[in-house]
Amino acid sequence: MDAPKDHQKVVTIDVHTAKDLLDSSGYSYLDVRSVEEFNKSHVENALNVPYMFITEAGRVKNPDFVGQVEALCKKEDHLIVGCNSGGRSFRACVELLDSEFKHIVNVGGGYSAWVDAGFAGNRPAEELKTSCKFRP
């Protein structure tokens, strides 16, 4: 997988800031985990566009990722991008910013941190979280 073109453009926020933005600032949550991960549990009202697919050969980057996001969102939309732990979402943010999306932030720690902060309800963490082997 190619290295991000300009990782310095990515702003990473913690889950508490992400929750505040979702609750009060017109941001939407873009979950870039696989469909399988998303279906297990996700942030309420989140959009799902996988950055990578799980295949028999391992994880493969979604070649239509930006186009699929463009079909759901405007480049001026305010998006919080999250995955399981922050690796895929960081790379997704770089691609979206390189594609001229204007208001993109990455969730540090991803959905795992969201669950650990207690934002996913009262189900046990092992029912909500998935293991993740992808790191930036």
Active site residues: 83
Q: Euclidean distance between the first and final Cα of the chain, in Å?
A: 10
Encoded amino acid at 22, one letter = L
Q: DSSP string of 51-87?
A: SEEEETTEEEE-TTHHHHHHHH--TTSEEEEE-SSSH
